[in-house]
Structure 1
């Protein structure tokens, strides 16, 4: 598996926390020096390990918000 780099530009917030201390977070992350994207994934308490996650552009995240809002009715 190839190495990759990430830089958490901004921590937006924690969605949930597991009993073992891992947190599911929404962050703004630059992967391999690319333009930052919104990212939701699980993180170890010290941020040295991560789970699988999903990245979103701002437009995708806004569309997701629309979908979630419309599903509430």
Structure 2
């Protein structure tokens, strides 16, 4: 399996943190030297390991924001 190269350009915010120290974060990440995208996933405390996540373009993130703003909690 090919190694995945990533660079966290900006951590926008932490959504939650587990008892083991992993944190679910919204970040701006460049994958394999490509244009950075918005990313939601769990990261180990030193950011050397990651869980499964979702990557969004700026347009997709705006659409998600609009959808979330329409939810009555």
**TM bucket by the smaller chain?**
over 0.9
5+ residue gaps, structure 2, are: none
5+ residue gaps, structure 1, are: none
The aligned counterpart of 2:43 is 43
- How far does residue 4 in structure 1 lie from its aligned partner after superposition? 1.4
Q: How far apart, CA to CA, are the structure 2 residues paired with 1:24 and 1:44?
A: 9
- How far does residue 71 in structure 1 lie from its aligned partner after superposition? 1.6
The 4+ residue runs of structure 1 with deviation greater than 4 A are none
CA-atom RMSD, angstroms?
A: 1.0
Give the TM-score of the pair, scaled to structure 1: 0.95
Q: Count matched residues.
A: 73
